[in-house]
Chain A
């Protein structure tokens, strides 16, 4: 038997080569190795780079000294394509902006066109409530995806499965509403395409109840989880000043203490009729962003609860046949409705010449649409202000000084969505 493997040898006499636990790097007995800057390519095809983004990091050892965030890998010419589609045909494109909360994009675009048409005040009340309901459901799916995916990347796979289970209930509900989980195309200029399905109320209430259980499970799994907290607390701090300077809105902006929520500050649809709070963070780190999102889900549930109680019966589309398609029965049996249907489909809605900027609170913050019409049936220009664009931009400033491993939770909590950021 080899002497070196004598079981009697005291462990303390062995040279320490393996460090366990949470000792600081400085405590290592090994001497610091000389380092030199090393470019490190992360993405565009990397498990943590959801949405295809490329980061060119410069690292010194494990520390990042500079980060170059390169977006554009998911550019699909949304804005240019819109110029050769009628106003209504743009809706399917908007589904594919922030594709985990497509309804909120639908809402943003529909309201922009309506503002240009000058019919914002004429949208039937039921349609406005439906928009709020499907929008808030989408916000919940958006946040659940973000939380679940980030937790998974930090090793908490269970949380991911729980979150996606709840998300799936909501997607199935939305599928009942509009026929698709993601590619909803549910809204129309002037209202929504179809009324809510029967039993929607009861189904949503049941799903919300179960989702709250899931949320509490997730909180139990994460909130006091040492691994999770160590990688979230104090990591990726964005200051309030930076949030303002970069134009960061939404959960990321609110995590810095910036209490800006379009639903509160510039109420649209019927948001002024609901009682809900805007959660804000105090530190602006990853954990604040996590906490803000969890709380926003609870607030969305509050809004849903009130909206389900208040939603009136009535029409769900604007009555003007120049804007909305007439009922099919009318189309087949009267020339007036036939012409209206024909012109709306073939020429598109005639939106008067002009320009407009309209903004709503989407899953990631202020989603803006800047539209220009030349009076024909298609947008002359359709520009999107993607909320996660500015949040992604600030990473250049936030990442330097962090470890490579910190990129994962920090980027995850920014919730950059390629479809929205790159358009």
Chain B
């Protein structure tokens, strides 16, 4: 006999229930379905979602409760004291099987062309709970196949199993009623609310929660079969919130980002804008080191950069400025701060980053940089703004500049934003090609967020782990590694060999990283064998 005591002790009152002959204790008010699944008596479901309310419309989670004349929907029933639940009684199993058969009657035979195939809950539940061949060969009810319901999403009404999860995502997460059910019976369809389209900033969550392939993302559909994808847990670089994500990639290319549950940060959701941040990993990348406008070997580029900086330091260290970036990981920032302040003793350091943007009180932060908090903490009051940099450049106070991370350095309306004409020496370590890398004497390729291991500090001060999902574009290297090489060229000793070592040193020196955890090594898992996604 096992007795499970949930970690939550905030609910004082516990009730004792029996699930499949074993007694368990749960806090009063726990939903029966969660209780069953927590103790391994797995109950299938479609409409239930841990982050949403339960309307009990799919009837897939029916279980037998002693004393009840009919099976009850476990997603809608709170546990009660002395309740006796039978999730495996012949009747419960049979009604669930019949519900699946009923759901499948009008389901189109789309698996080969359906984007959800491979992570489809209907496939999974059929395999786990039905596994009988069809008894019905009637003609299926046909509905609209391709309905353009918003900027990011296409609806296939035939595939919809009417679970209403997407409606609840719009209502409860995005707080925007944009989807509705129309018609009745087997003609019931999902459709947009009158006068609306599905365009809220959280609309793509409806695709994630859709148990079947009714809602598909325009960005992802027909681009990749899901079971071929590998998943790497990481953090969205889109804003200071730091939503936990899974990076889905294959053969060095990222195909999509999906939210990963973290109840303290983003629950099960993320915004549409964040999902598209992966695109910058593959676009307009600086792929090779350049020196004097020509592609060169790493060694040559580092040599040239070292000579330039050495000449500037010898001439007048006060005229040397360093630009950090709030898009960089804590590790890159730590290495750069160590080089700038400790080894070279420079005074002029500036913090760049993407411009402020829109925000809401759900997830989106106005700060579009994932690591502003980390940069501020590492800078410890020594960082100036880009405005200061513009003034210093105009006045000629800074004639040599080392830029690490190019995001937002030249803002939007490019060359005019920063007066670079008075600069004598410019060394850029950047991810993307642009005006900055073109005018630099030496430009070196920096790996993007999805290509390097490290940590981001979000707006709540939580240090979260970023993992390398895909190989770096071209010859790009992580910032800490480039800076270690550069430090050697400048006569300083900073011999980091792996990101974890930088992390460990930063953790021992910086108070805000005291609690940070590097986590275990995680190899990418192919979704077909991940066992978690349908």
Q: Which residues of A contact B (CB under 8 A)?
A: 320-322, 326, 330, 332-340, 342-343, 346-347, 350, 375-378
Contacts and interface: CB of A to CB of B under 8 A. Distances in A.
Given A334-B137, A336-B132, A339-B126, A377 B108 contact: no
B40 interface: no
A36 to B, nearest CB: 54
A334 B528 contact: no
Contact of B123 (A337, A343, A377, A378): A343
A389 to B, nearest CB: 30
Given A335-B104, A339-B126, A378-B529, A330 B227 contact: no
Interface string B513-529: 00000000000000011
A336 B529 contact: no
Contacts of A347: 118, 227, 528-529
The 10 lowest CB-CB distance pairs between A and B, nearest first, are: A334-B134, A336-B134, A342-B111, A335-B107, A322-B131, A339-B123, A339-B126, A338-B109, A343-B127, A376-B529
A320 B131 CA distance: 7
Contact of A339 (B122, B137, B227, B528): B122
A337 B133 contact: yes
Interface in B119-164: 122-123, 126-127, 130-134, 137
9 contacts: A330-B133, A330-B134, A335-B104, A336-B126, A336-B134, A342-B112, A343-B123, A346-B117, A347-B528
A346 B227 contact: yes
B194 interface: no
Given A334-B134, A339-B122, 15 more contacts: A330-B133, A332-B109, A335-B134, A336-B133, A337-B134, A338-B112, A342-B111, A342-B112, A343-B123, A346-B118, A346-B227, A347-B528, A375-B531, A376-B529, A378-B529
B157 to A, nearest CB: 16
B109 to A, nearest CB: 5
Residue among B126, B132, B227 with most chain A CB within 10 A: B126
Contacts of A346: 117-118, 227, 528
Nearest to A341: B111
Contacts of B126: 336, 339-340
B528 A338 contact: no
B108 A321 contact: no
A342 B117 contact: yes
B134 A321 contact: no
Contacts of B127: 322, 339-340, 343, 350
A378 B108 CA distance: 29
B530 to A, nearest CB: 8
Contacts of A337: 133-134
Contacts of B109: 332-335, 338
Contacts of A320: 131
Contacts of A321: 131-133
A330 B122 CA distance: 18
A322 B130 CA distance: 10
Contacts of B108: 335
Nearest to B123: A339
Contacts of A376: 529, 531
A342 B118 CA distance: 8
A368 B404 CA distance: 59
Interface in B429-466: none
Nearest to A320: B131
Contacts of B531: 375-376
A319 to B, nearest CB: 9
A183 to B, nearest CB: 25
Interface in B406-449: none
Contacts of B227: 346-347
Contact of B528 (A333, A340, A377): A377
Contacts of A322: 127, 131
Contacts of B130: 336
A339 B111 contact: yes
Contacts of A336: 104, 126, 130, 132-134
A241 to B, nearest CB: 46
A346 B111 CA distance: 11
Contacts of B118: 342, 346-347
Interface string B490-534: 000000000000000000000000000000000000001101000
Interface in B95-116: 104, 107-109, 111-112
A74 to B, nearest CB: 29
Residue from A332, A338, A350, A377 with most neighbouring chain B CB atoms (10 Å): A338
Nearest to B531: A376
Contacts of B104: 335-336
